[in-house]
Amino acid sequence: MSIAPCWQELEAPTPRHPNELDLRRIERAIAGRARYKYVQPSVQRHPDGYLVRSPCCSRNIAADGAEIDVALLTWMERTADWSLFRRDHQAQAWLLDSRFARLPDLFGRLNQDPDRVFWQ
């Protein structure tokens, strides 16, 4: 009698991201941002991770103040790190900004944004 390894009996693993816990962590973290504290950004699930959107207060991107993409956060399983992307609104493309081993380190970059590449 042959006994199948227990791992064969398990279902396929579910994706780690996006998940509700990290979604809430990101929502809480962006409340501490340095720019545009008077607007309410949103965090949404994205097929690749988490999408941060916010009303455009500066009117530089959307003259009518419409909601714009601010950042895309993704977990890279293969490299075990977080990737932070910023939106190039002219080119309509995501650009890799930086990578982080820990999500809280990513929040520091996103929230401070000294070069105004996220919170435009």
Q: Is residue 100 part of a domain?
A: yes
* Angle at CA of residue 31, ends 27 and 33, nearest 5°: 120
Domain count, the chain: 1
Query: CA torsion sign, 58 to 46 to 90 to 33?
Result: positive
Q: Are 99 and 83 in contact (CB under 8 A)?
A: yes
Q: Is residue 2 part of a domain?
A: no
Digit-coded pLDDT (tens) for 26-67: 999 999 888 888 889 999 999 889 999 988 877 777 767 788
Going by pLDDT thresholds of 50, 70 and 90, the confidence category of residue 11 is: low
- Cα separation, 94 vs 8, whole angstroms: 38
Q: Are 110 and 99 in contact (CB under 8 A)?
A: no
Q: Is residue 49 part of a domain?
A: yes
State yes or no: pLDDT of 6 exceeds 70: no
What is the pTM assigned to this prediction?
0.82
Residue range of the domain that includes 64 = 16-112
State yes or no: pLDDT of 8 exceeds 70: no
